[in-house]
Every structure is written in structure tokens, then in C-alpha cells.
Amino acid sequence: MTSPLHRGLRHLALRVIDLPRSRRFYEQVLGFQSVWEPDPENVYFSSGIDNLALHQIPKDELSSYQPTQAQLLDHIGVILDGPQAVDQMYREILPKIEALGGRITKEPKQHRDGSYSFYFADPDGNLIQALYEPAISKLRIIADP
């Protein structure tokens, strides 16, 4: 059941250690396009249906910034059309992900529920799941008129 009050989880904001590095990662690995840069410390991206904000951790906080031993956010996900799309994305990002400060954390795998995915980390260690999930991968977003 969906709530009539919202249209889904379509916005994510992450604090990052090095904004230019993280920006390159999300542009080149996930193909996000910048839609607004209010100042040098913030950039807002869109995939066409989702919105991602990257916020530079302020310089006066960086020296005292202590990442936790365990990430509190387990992972974020990007939905793909099918297992072939997961494999294609894996092949395409594999040669460039380390150069952009990320890393593959789990190779493509079939899951018991019929989903198929792999995991990778961005430059700050945030895990991202590239996922085919049968129940939602075939849904289509229809824009308002």
C-alpha cells in the first residue's frame, strides 16, 4: 500500500569528505547530472527521477570528523531493469571505480528472492547496491502532465 501523502523515497543527501572527488564519482559511475550548485560546498544531482545532494563536511568539522567503525546507513540502492543490466553496469564501472576512489565490495550474485545485484562503495565508504528486484524493477514512473 502506498501513502497518498508521498511519492516515494526520491531524495538522498550525503555529507562527504572531498566534494570534488565525490562529485566525479557520482557523475562518472552512476551518470548523475548536476541540476543545482548553490555554492562550492553543495551540489544537487538528478537521475531524471531521483535527487541526490552532496554536502561538503565543513572544513572546521573535518579535523574532528570521526567516521564510525560501522556505517550507520547500511546501503543505498539503484534499481536496474534486469540481471543483464546489473552485469553490464558491473562490467562498465569495474575499470574506473578504483580510479574514482570507490571499490567493488561484492560481485554480482543471484539472491534467494529472485533479485540479482552487486555492491560497491563510494569514496566515503557509503555502500551502493546495483539491484534488479523483480517486484519493483519493472515499475515505470509516469510524470505529471
Q: For 57, which DSSP code?
A: P
pLDDT of amino acid 145: 54
Report pLDDT for 7. 67
pLDDT on residue 45: 96
**Distance separating alpha carbons of residues 53 and 42, to the nearest angstrom:** 7
**Would you state the pLDDT for residue 59?**
87
Residue pLDDT, tens place only, 34-82:
999 999 999 999 998 889 999 999 988 877 776 665 556 789 999 999 9
Stretch 23-29: mean pLDDT, rounded? 97
* CATH for the stretch 11-57+75-137: 3.10.180.10
pTM value is 0.84
Secondary structure element (H or E) that encloses residue 77, with its range: strand 76-79
**Sign, CA torsion 51/126/22/102:** negative
Residue 99 gets which letter from DSSP? T
Cell reading at 145: 502532465
pLDDT tens, residue by residue, 92-123: 999 999 999 999 999 999 999 999 999 999 99
- From CA 42, how far away is CA 76, in angstroms rounded? 20
